[in-house]
């Protein structure tokens, strides 16, 4: 079996090119002629993973100016999320993972019309599993979790129905329970309950630091990652307004990455780089905007590389369209 080191050596010596279009049989004969006894089936099996291996090699050897690699995902709107498998290619290549708001949809307490209802408890169970699966797949050093406007639905819903005394013991949003406190699913009909431990406990001994911001934005290096409440329909207008907000607050930053808009795009204004990172929900199932004559939603997320000063490296950063 070809080992990682052997593949690395072959790539470095140019014996294998990730863009090689020759058949597996020809490639096997070629490698054999170069003194590498790899049969056709072995080459076939390993070539499928070649792109991934080469990316890891290049990331670890060529990008000496990169200080941080950041993967930011948002707007999964569980239970309408796409599979976590869409992030698989970034496994082992990310230092910081950011959940940039609206991981949950809170569909059961939505003001929008709905033909069916998924309980908040079920959403929380699915969201906990989704976040756990993504973290285990990516294996970052640090995870930041921002609160989105959909997660804030719970606090608003409760405050409109409960008095102040009861509100003092209620969570602000479902993420409080999923990440910090844990929660129970009580089946009163069958007199059973299931406890779901908080994510901070799940990853306590993993070496992965879980940071729950409890708010709508966080800052990594000189980049602000945010999920605001307000929305402007103009292309990238929401990001422009968010940038103006942080400037008025005297924040020092060089870039802004926004969730919430479900749009993809970027531009530079006044020396500040602005990005909208799209959404990771199944747009065929999440149809809030149907009939509203707005710009179509767009699936995507963003992979960012920062230099030692915490500034984004443009040529190494990309908005990934799904």
Nearest Cα to Cα of residue 213 among 317, 98, 310, 74: 98
Lowest mean pLDDT among 82-91, 226-235, 250-259, 307-316: 226-235
Lowest mean pLDDT among 46-50, 122-126, 232-236: 46-50
Which residue did the predictor score with more confidence, 47 or 170? Answer: 170
Is the pLDDT confidence value at 201 over 70?
yes
The pLDDT of residue 197 is: 98
Q: Residue range 312-322: average pLDDT?
A: 95
Which residue did the predictor score with more confidence, 67 or 289? Answer: 67
Predicted model pTM: 0.80
Whole-angstrom Cα distance, residue 219 to residue 255? 10
CATH number corresponding to 65-321: 3.60.21.10
The pLDDT of residue 207 is: 95
What is the Cβ-side half-sphere exposure of residue 147, based on CA atoms within 13 angstroms? 21
Q: Residue range 7-36: average pLDDT?
A: 55
Whole-angstrom Cα distance, residue 108 to residue 144? 26
> pLDDT tens for residues 88-118?
999 999 999 999 999 999 999 887 777 788 9
CB atoms under 10 Å from CB of 71, counted, come to 21
Is residue 100 within 8 A of residue 277, CB to CB? The reply is yes
Q: Residue range 47-54: average pLDDT?
A: 55
The pLDDT of residue 3 is: 53
Whole-angstrom Cα distance, residue 266 to residue 46? 37
> pLDDT tens for residues 232-284?
877 789 999 999 999 999 999 999 999 999 999 999 999 999 999 999 999 99
Query: What ranges do the domains of the chain cover?
Result: 4-57, 65-321
Is the pLDDT confidence value at 29 over 80?
no
Is the pLDDT confidence value at 1 over 50?
no
Compute CA distances 30 → 13, 25, 49, 248, whole Å.
Answer: 14, 9, 19, 63
Is the pLDDT confidence value at 158 over 70?
yes
The pLDDT of residue 93 is: 93
């Amino acid at each position: 079996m070809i080992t990682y080191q052997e593949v690395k050596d072959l790539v470095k010596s140019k014996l294998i090119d990730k863009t090689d279009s020759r058949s597996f049989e020809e490639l096997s004969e070629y490698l054999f002629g170069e003194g590498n006894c790899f049969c056709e089936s072995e080459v076939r099996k390993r070539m499928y993973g070649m792109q991934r291996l080469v990316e890891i090699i290049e990331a670890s050897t060529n990008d000496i100016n990169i200080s941080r690699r950041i993967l930011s995902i948002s707007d999964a709107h569980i239970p309408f999320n796409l599979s976590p498998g869409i992030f698989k290619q970034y496994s082992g290549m990310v230092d910081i993972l950011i959940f940039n708001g609206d991981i949950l949809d809170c569909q059961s307490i939505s003001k929008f019309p709905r033909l069916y209802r998924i309980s908040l408890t079920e959403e929380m169970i699915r969201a906990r599993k989704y976040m756990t699966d993504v973290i285990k797949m990516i294996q970052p050093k640090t995870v930041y979790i921002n609160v989105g406007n959909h997660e804030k639905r719970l606090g608003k819903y409760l405050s409109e129905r409960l008095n102040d005394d009861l509100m003092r013991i209620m969570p602000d949003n479902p993420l409080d329970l999923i990440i910090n406190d844990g929660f129970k699913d009580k089946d009163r009909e069958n007199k059973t309950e299931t406890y779901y431990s908080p994510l901070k406990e799940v990853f306590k001994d993993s070496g992965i630091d879980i940071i729950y911001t409890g708010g709508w934005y966080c800052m990594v290096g000189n980049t602000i990652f945010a999920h605001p409440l307000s929305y402007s329909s103009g292309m990238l207008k929401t990001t422009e307004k968010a940038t103006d907000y942080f400037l008025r607050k005297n924040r020092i930053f060089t870039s802004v990455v926004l969730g919430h808009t479900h749009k993809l795009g970027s531009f530079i204004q006044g020396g500040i780089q602005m990005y909208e990172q799209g959404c990771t929900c199944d747009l065929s199932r999440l149809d809030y905007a149907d009939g509203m004559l707005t710009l179509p939603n767009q699936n995507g997320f963003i992979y960012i590389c920062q230099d030692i000063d915490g500034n984004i490296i443009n040529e190494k950063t990309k908005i990934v369209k799904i």
